[in-house]
Amino acid sequence: MSPLSPIKEEVSSAIDQSKLTFKSEDQVENFIKLHNISTLCATDGSALVGRGAAYTIEDKKLNKEYEGGLRLSNAASAQLCETKGMNICLARLVDLKNKGELNGECLIISDSAYVVNGINNHLEYWASHDYKKKMV
């Protein structure tokens, strides 16, 4: 069973809002206020020298911050770095939720079209198949 399985039922409500694109910080702030977002996350990856992936999670209600990251090999592509950043952020969010340290609405921001398009186009399928690879 995937570690993401406990949040499977929440995916369908997130899909409708996962296709948003913000053009300014003001739009992000307005969205946060309008939807009562309590947790703000950002992910990133770098394929430059010192390739790696990272995330930050800010719980605005509890005034707590969490962050993490990891180094990747020099062979890692930009897409791998970006997707790994999202992956480790999601894993940490699930961990925090399972421990009861996180609740409420969450907004995850990525500057990677590759990651955003992957989520927008495949999240519903992944959730319905317990986040397992599609059989070819």
Domain presence at residue 31: no
Q: With the CA atoms of 52, 5, 59 and 54 taken in that order, what torsion angle do they form, in degrees rounded to the nearest 10? A: 0
**DSSP result, 9-53:** HHHHHHHTTTT---SSHHHHHHHHHHTTEEEEEEEEEE-SSS-EE
Mind listing the pLDDT tens digit of every residue in the chain (136 residues)?
555 544 444 554 555 555 677 888 899 889 889 989 999 999 999 988 789 999 999 998 889 999 999 999 999 999 999 999 999 999 999 899 999 998 888 999 999 989 988 888 887 787 787 777 666 5
Asked if the structure places residue 14 within a domain, the reply is no
Query: What's the pTM?
Result: 0.79
- Does 81 map to a domain? yes
Number of domains in the chain: 1
77 CB-near residues (< 8 Å, 6+ apart): 47
Tell whether 3 is covered by a domain. Answer: no
* CATH number, domain with residue 117: 3.30.420.10
